[in-house]
Structure 1
Amino acid sequence: MEKIKTYQELTETHDKVKSLLDPRILLDRYQGKKREILVCGDTGCQASDSQKIVTRLNELILANNLEDTVSAKITGCFGFCEKGPIVKVFPDDVFYTQVTPEDADAIVENHIINNRVIQRLLFVHPETNQRIVPEKEIPFYQKQKRVALRNCGLIDPDNIYEYIANDGYMALGKVLNDMQSQDVINEIKAAGLRGRGGGGFPTGLKWEGALKNESDEKFIICNADEGDPGAFMDRSIMEGDPHSVLEAMTIAGYAIQSNKGYIYIRAEYPSCIARLKKAITQGEEIGFLGDNILGSGFDFTIELKYGAGAFICGEETALIHSIEGRRGEPTTKPPFPSDSGLWGKPTCVNNVETYANVCPIINKGADWYAGIGTETSKGTKVFALAGQINNTGLVEVPMGITLQEIVYDIGGGIQDNRRFKAVQTGGPSGGCITRANLETPIDYDSLAAIGSMMGSGGMIVLSEKDCIVNIAKFYLEFTVEESCGKCTPCRVGNKRLLEILEKITQGRGTMEDIETLKTLSEIIKDTSLCGLGQTTPNPVLSTLKYFEDEYITHVRDRKCPAGVCQKLITYEIVAEKCKGCTACSRLCPVGCISGAVKEAHVIDQELCIKCGVCFDKCKFTAIIRN
Structure 2
Amino acid sequence: MPSLVSHPDEVKVVSRRFGLGATDIDKYVELDGYKAVQQAIAKGPEWIISEMKASGLRGRGGAGFPTGMKWSFVPKQSEKPKYVLVNGDESEPGTCKDHVLFLHDPHAVIEGTMIAGLAIGSKLGFIYLRGEYRYLLKIVEKAVADAYAKGFLGKNIFGTGVDFDIITQTGAGAYEVGEESALMESLEGKRGVPRIKPPFPAVVGLYGGPTVINNAETIANAPHILLMGGEAYAKLGSERNGGTRLFGISGHVERPGVYELPMGYNLKRAIYEVAGGIKDGKKLKAVVPGGSSCPVMTADEIDVGLDFDQMGRAGTMLGSGGIVVLDETVSIVEFALRTIAFYQHESCGWCIPCREGTDWIKKTLTRVYNGGGNKKDVDNVQYLAENMLGRTFCPLGDAAAMPTIAFVKKFRKEFEDYIEGNKAGTPIITVEQLVGAH
Say whether the 8 Å CA contact 1:211–1:257 is kept in structure 2. Answer: no
Q: Report what 1:316 is aligned to.
A: 180
Query: CA deviation digits over 1:62-97, x for unaligned, max 9?
Result: xxxxxxxxxxxxxxx62x2xxxxxxxxxxxxxxxxx
Q: Which residue of 2 aligns with 1:202?
A: 66
* Alignment root-mean-square deviation, CA: 1.5
Matches within 5 A, 1:20-35: none
SS in 2 for 1:512: helix
The alpha carbon displacement at 1:382 in A equals 0.9
* Structure 2: distance between partners of 1:535 and 1:187: 32
Work out the CA distance in 2 between the residues paired with 1:472 and 1:431.
11
Asked if residue 174 in structure 1 is aligned to residue 39 in structure 2, the reply is yes
Verify: 1:154 aligned to 2:20, yes or no. Answer: yes
Q: 2:132 aligns to what SS in structure 1?
A: coil
Cα offset, 1:279, TM superposition = 0.7
- Rate the CA distance shift 1:565–1:242 in 2: closer, same or farther, 3 A: farther
Q: CA deviation at 1:151?
A: 1.0
What is aligned with 2:252?
388
The aligned counterpart of 1:302 is 166
The match for 2:208 is 344
Residue 319 of structure 2 aligns with an amino acid whose one-letter code is: G
What's the counterpart of residue 578 of structure 1? none
**1:524-539 matched pairs, under 5 angstroms:** 524-539=388-403
Q: Counterparts of 1:248-259 in structure 2 under 5 Å?
A: 248-259=112-123
Does 2:10 align with 1:144? yes
TM-score by length of 2: 0.95
CA contact (8 A) 2:177 2:192 kept: yes
Q: Distance in 1 between the 2:217 and 2:276 partners?
A: 25
1:165 aligned residue: 30
The code of the aligned residue for 2:83 comes to F
Partner of 1:285: 149
What's 2:422 paired with?
559
SS at match of 1:277: helix
| CA deviation profile, 1:455-509 (whole Å, cap 9, x unmatched) | 2221110011101111111110111111111011111111111111111111122
State the 1:183 CA deviation: 1.3
Aligned residues: 429
Aligned with 2:390: secondary structure? helix
Question: What is the aligned partner in structure 2 of residue 465 from structure 1?
Answer: 329
Distance 1:525 1:267 in 2: 28
CA distance in 1, matches of 2:77, 2:321: 31
Contact 1:213 1:346 in 2 (8 A): no
Question: For residues 236 and 553 of structure 1, do their structure 2 counterparts lie closer, same or farther at Cα, with a shift above 3 Å needed?
Answer: same
- 1:363-407 deviation line (CA, Å, top 9, x unaligned): 000111110111121111112111111111111111111111111
- SS of the equivalent of 2:389 reads helix
CA distance in 1: counterparts of 2:216 and 2:141, whole angstroms: 15
Choose 1 or 2 for highest CA Rg. Answer: 1
CA contact (8 A) 1:451 1:542 kept: no
Maintained 8 Å contact 1:428/1:478? no
Counterpart amino acid of residue 200 in structure 1: G
User: How far off its partner does 1:564 sit?
Assistant: 8.3
Deviations 1:268-313 (A, max 9, x none): 2233111111111111111111111122221100001120110001
**Percent pairwise identity:** 38
Structure 2: give runs of 5+ residues left out of the alignment: 430-438
Contact 1:518 1:541 in 2 (8 A): yes
Residue identity matched to 2:422: K
Provide the rounded CA distance (Å) in 1 between the counterparts of 2:175 and 2:101. 20
Q: Counterparts of 1:334 and 1:450 in 2: how far apart (Å)?
A: 30
- 1:373 corresponds to: 237
CA contact (8 A) 2:112 2:222 kept: yes
Structure 1: distance between partners of 2:130 and 2:300: 38
Q: Which amino acid aligns with 1:482?
A: E
1:268 match: secondary structure: helix
Give the aligned partner of residue 433 of structure 1.
Answer: 297
Aligned equivalents of 1:319, 1:278: Cα separation in 2? 23
Query: Deviation digits for residues 509-529 of structure 1, max 9, x if unmatched?
Result: 222111111211111012111
Q: Distance in 2 between matches of 1:300 and 1:256?
A: 12
CA contact (8 A) 2:89 2:131 kept: no
With a CA cutoff of 8 Å and minimum separation of 6, indicate the structure with the bigger relative contact order.
2
- Residue in structure 1 matched with residue 432 of structure 2 by the alignment: none
Residues 358, 444 of structure 1: CA spacing in aligned structure 2 closer, same or farther, 3 A cutoff?
A: same
What secondary structure does 1:291 align onto? Answer: strand
For residue 249 of structure 1, report the CA deviation from its aligned partner. Answer: 0.2
